[in-house]
Chains A and B, each alone.
Chain A
Amino acid sequence: QKEVEQDPGPLSVPEGAIVSLNCTYSNSAFQYFMWYRQYSRKGPELLMYTYSSGNKEDGRFTAQVDKSSKYISLFIRDSQPSDSATYLCAAYNFNKFYFGSGTKLNVKP
């Protein structure tokens, strides 16, 4: 079983839709969780991070962690075509990052 599991998609939504991206993880010791955005043939860029359980909001993006179910989510409100990219979730523990496989998102104008 992989440390972090993520549905690869692709996920296609119309512009303006609310997008929900999800991951599950297996190691209950994980405390830090991140979401990265990766455009084609580029390195990932950090979008948001959260510590332990709870929500964190940044503009149109909300990251959510539910440690009881080992579930992490990223919500994108009012999605834009420029949001089209691959989104990677990650968990951090002891100086090592564990990445999900990435979900490819396509926002259609």
Chain B
Amino acid sequence: GAVVSQHPSWVICKSGTSVKIECRSLDFQATTMFWYRQFPKQSLMLMATSNEGSKATYEQGVEKDKFLINHASLTLSTLTVTSAHPEDSSFYICSANSGSSYNEQFFGPGTRLTVL
């Protein structure tokens, strides 16, 4: 089956620094990638949808200047949390859709961000 990887799996950073998270589709081309945020014991909250070569579409309430998304190729999307603060600590999960089937959304293993 399709595999999506994320790197890093866990990152700890100081408040005020920026953190980049990579999401890669390893064996398929992802026309669309999604970025989610998940707090403990809560569901996935969609942050933004990114399509290769175009600007990401952010969900209401998500600051696009704080969460920079770049979908530079059909296999790579990056999420940069700029000037991270402790309240940004969360589990960030990406998913990728090849576009061949609506329901084939493959999730990455997630990145745990801890901001001190």
Q: Are B43 and A45 in contact (CB under 8 A)?
A: no
CB distance from A100 to the nearest CB of B (A): 6
**Contact mask for chain B residues 3-14; partner A; CB cutoff 8 A; 1 contact, 0 none:** 010100000000
Given A88-B44, A95-B32, A97-B46: A41 touches B103 (CB 8 Å cut-off): no
Decide if B103 touches A43 in the complex (CB within 8 Å): no
Residue A42 at the chain B interface, CB threshold 8 Å = yes
Closest to B107 in A: A43
Q: Select one of B42, B108, B112 contacting A41, CB under 8 A.
A: B112
User: Is B29 engaged at the interface, CB distance under 8 Å to the other chain?
Assistant: no
**B32 / chain A contacts, CB cutoff of 8 Å:** 95
A95 to B32, alpha carbons, bound, how many Å?
9
Question: Range of interface residues on chain A?
Answer: 20 to 34
Contacts of A34 in B (CB 8 A): 103
Residue of B42, B91, B102, B105 near A101 (CB, 8 A) is: B42
Do A8 and B103 touch across chains, with their CB atoms under 8 A apart?
Answer: no
Question: Interface majority SS on B: helix, strand, loop or mixed?
Answer: strand
Report B-chain residues with C-beta under 8 Å of the C-beta of A104: 41
A-B contacts, 23 listed (Cβ < 8 Å) = A8-B41, A32-B102, A34-B103, A36-B107, A41-B110, A41-B112, A42-B110, A43-B95, A43-B109, A44-B107, A45-B107, A46-B103, A49-B103, A88-B43, A92-B102, A92-B103, A95-B32, A96-B46, A100-B43, A102-B41, A102-B42, A102-B43, A104-B41
**With A96-B46, A101-B42 given, can you name 16 additional A-B contacts, CB distance below 8 Å?**
A6-B43, A42-B110, A43-B93, A43-B107, A43-B108, A46-B106, A49-B103, A88-B43, A95-B49, A95-B97, A96-B49, A97-B34, A97-B46, A100-B43, A102-B41, A102-B42
Q: Which B residues lie at the A interface, using CB under 8 A?
A: 4, 6, 32, 34, 41-44, 46, 49, 91, 93, 95, 97, 102-110, 112
Of all A-B residue pairs in the complex, the 5 with the closest CB atoms, nearest first, are A43-B107, A101-B43, A49-B103, A99-B43, A99-B44
